[in-house]
Amino acid sequence: MISEAEKLGIKSIITTTHYYKGVYSSDRVLDNFYEVKSRAKDLEIELLLGYEVFLCTALPDIISEKREYTLNSSKYLLFELPFNVMPIAVNSAILKLNSEGLVPIIAHPERNRYFVRDIEKLTNLIETKCLIQVDAASIVGVYGVNVKRFVKKLIKLNLVNFVASDAHSPEAYAQWYLKAFEIVKNWAGEEYTDKIFSYNQNIIINPILN
């Protein structure tokens, strides 16, 4: 995966291990991260540590541990929600994160069925100072036409802050990421595409900026 990313000219990757309390243990994350970093030392890519947090079970841990579960130890917290049912207290959880000085980023909302059915549910989260990250695979149609149509709508409305590889295999880079870049450029122009593929990510990657 890292080798395929390097071929595209990617310089930094934030590894976003799932953190889902009671389901995915975080005990070996650091050991595994440094092992991968060691194996990839000859590749010209900077690896940074982060998590994709299942918000519903992890909120107390996030509040108590502050930046342990954020992206690159920044103030930015990547989280996901259940795909089928929207939890009742999401808005209040986001407001709580804001009050703790954290900036929540919702991962792949275009794959959450309740947002696809009712975009207002998502815009309500955005209004509570929640940022939006979509997947490259969604843009190229890997998850179906409805997801692609919805992510296109979000991008054309300028609601998206980040596009991520969400890479779980080399194909995420080799077949989807560059193609997604070209599709978004066609949808929204080069300036906005650069912003959500590169510029905004650099704010998180660069410690001086975040």
State pLDDT tens for residues 15-42: 998 887 766 667 788 999 999 999 999 9
The answer on pLDDT for 59 being more than 90 is: no
**Residue from 86, 76, 88, 87 nearest 111 by CA:** 86
pLDDT value at residue 192? 98
Q: Give the CATH number of the domain where residue 133 resides.
A: 3.20.20.140
Query: What is the sign of the dihedral through the CA atoms of 121, 123, 125 and 127?
Result: negative
Whether residue 178 lies inside any domain: the answer is yes
pTM given for the model: 0.92
What tokens were used for 90?
Answer: 């999401």
Whether residue 141 lies inside any domain: the answer is yes
- The stretches of 40-79 forming alpha helices (DSSP H) are 55-65
Whether residue 86 lies inside any domain: the answer is yes
Q: How many domains does the chain have?
A: 1
**Cβ proximity of 159 and 128 under 8 Å:** no
Whether residue 210 lies inside any domain: the answer is no
Long-range contacts of 85-88 (CB under 8 A, 24+ apart): 85/114, 86/112, 86/114, 86/115, 86/121, 87/55, 87/56
Which comes out higher in pLDDT, residue 150 or 98? 150
How many whole angstroms separate alpha carbon 75 and alpha carbon 2? 25
Strands 103-107 and 76-80 come out as parallel
Whether residue 111 lies inside any domain: the answer is yes
**Cβ proximity of 8 and 178 under 8 Å:** yes
Q: Determine what percent of the chain is predicted with pLDDT higher than 70.
A: 92
Domain enclosing residue 101, as ranges: 2-205
pLDDT value at residue 198? 95
pLDDT value at residue 33? 95
* Residue 168 backbone phi and psi in degrees, to 5: -115, 0
What tokens were used for 115?
Answer: 């947002």
How many whole angstroms separate alpha carbon 4 and alpha carbon 20? 28
